[in-house]
Amino acid sequence: MLFVLSIIVFLSVSTVAAQDCHDIDPAACQMMANQRPDLCSDETIAKTACPQFCKKCPVTCYHCNATVKDYHLCNTTTACPEGQMCMRKELKSAIDGHHEYEMTCAEKQACDDPWSGLSAFGKRDMVSRDVSVTCCSDDLCNYPEPPTTPGTTTTRSTFTGCIRDLVLIVDESTSVKRYHSEINRFLHDVVAPLPVNDAEVHVSLGLFATASRTIFDLDDLHSKSAVLHALGSQTLHGGTGDVDEGLKYAVNHALTPAAGDRPSAKNVVIIITDDGTKNRALLTSLEHAVHSKADVISIEIGSVLFAHLASDTHNAFHLLLPTSLSQIAKKVSDLVCS
């Protein structure tokens, strides 16, 4: 009976689903698929009620109009025309070892024969240039793998059943503002491999100095592309850092139902600060309040002052330099869904 009723509700609002290409009820789509494995073979349901679940939505890919040496500079996205996939061409020079990247949409046949329309770097002398081509059909899957530390693999984790409310809290004081670009890249690389969608990971971002401010709440953005775009466009205002303000933001706002906190989702807080922030060496009622609501991952740049913010020692990261943020991105992503 529940299966039949779900179809009736879906079809009654099919026009809305077709316009924005979102599943009307992601949980219901999964439930229906559990009862009917061939659900997506029903074109009516697949295209109107569960287009994301059935992969009927246009894929969103990173898209650059030019070849870039720093892949972080390619931070624009586009919805590909129907039938296209995400493509990434990556060059490694055999002479000096530098990398160049192209990211865009491509026809499926171009993925099977990527040299049919060679790019700017593809037309150069191939003897000293090693070019790899990757095509994929998931949103934003054509982003290069973030750097890894020695001994780790370069393969991104595949997270299944990861239902999380992820709250990002960043110190925007003057001392941290100098690391703005490194922090933006880090946040991007942490969130990019996660299953950000209506049913699984929801993300929020707040900044703090002598006061806190909300950039977006857990229920504001419903796609990975929207979240990554928002993370890449935030700016830090500067000021004097006070970590208490970040903790108050988590307890009094971010982790409340009014800001989108879901009772059924596990809460994870990532807080980023440095040794220029107001120092307290002992746990207070604020830390206890945050720990009672969420697993806390603390990332500190400079001296070790705030390791006690983390839920446990495995969640505490101390970096001497902001450039080291890229080396821990994959490990932090893994912790979010562990």
Q: How far is CA 40 from CA 29, 81, 83, 232, in A?
A: 10, 21, 17, 34
Contacts made by residues 38-47, CB under 8 angstroms, sequence distance 24+: 44/11, 44/14, 45/7, 45/10, 47/18
Average pLDDT, the chain: 81
Q: Looking at residue 235, what is its pLDDT?
A: 87
Percent of the chain with pLDDT over 70: 83
Within 8 A by CB and 6+ apart from 281, the residues are 305, 308
Q: Looking at residue 170, what is its pLDDT?
A: 96
CA separation for the pair 287, 170 (Å, rounded)? 16
158: confidence class by pLDDT, cuts 50, 70, 90: low
Q: Looking at residue 164, what is its pLDDT?
A: 96
Q: Map residue 221 onto helix, strand or coil.
A: coil
The answer on pLDDT for 20 being more than 90 is no
CA separation for the pair 74, 129 (Å, rounded)? 21
CA separation for the pair 133, 86 (Å, rounded)? 11
Q: Looking at residue 325, what is its pLDDT?
A: 93
Which range, of 13-17, 24-28, 181-185, averages the lowest pLDDT?
A: 13-17
pLDDT in tens, 297-320: 999 998 777 778 899 989 999 999
Which range, of 11-15, 21-25, 280-284, averages the lowest pLDDT?
A: 11-15
Q: Looking at residue 122, what is its pLDDT?
A: 47
The answer on pLDDT for 108 being more than 90 is no
Is residue 132 within a helix (H) or strand (E), and if so which, with residue range?
strand 129-136
Domain range 164-336, CATH architecture: 3-Layer(aba) Sandwich (3.40)
Closest by CA to 160, choosing from 187, 208, 132, 197, is 197
Closest by CA to 207, choosing from 255, 164, 239, 165, is 239
Output the CA angle 108-80-9, nearest 5 degrees. 110
Alpha-carbon dihedral of residues 115, 121, 125, 127, nearest 10 degrees? -70
pLDDT in tens, 137-157: 887 888 876 544 444 444 444
Q: Where are the alpha helices (DSSP H) in the chain?
A: 2-12, 14-20, 26-35, 43-48, 108-112, 174-177, 180-191, 224-233, 243-249, 285-293, 325-336
Radius of gyration of the chain (CA): 22
Closest by CA to 197, choosing from 265, 143, 253, 130, is 265
83: confidence class by pLDDT, cuts 50, 70, 90: confident
The answer on pLDDT for 55 being more than 90 is no
Scan for tokens 């993925």, then name that residue.
111
The answer on pLDDT for 69 being more than 80 is yes
280: confidence class by pLDDT, cuts 50, 70, 90: low
Query: In the chain, what are the domain boundaries?
Result: 2-48, 60-136, 164-336
Percent of the chain with pLDDT over 90: 33
pLDDT in tens, 167-178: 999 999 998 999
Quote the pTM value. Answer: 0.68
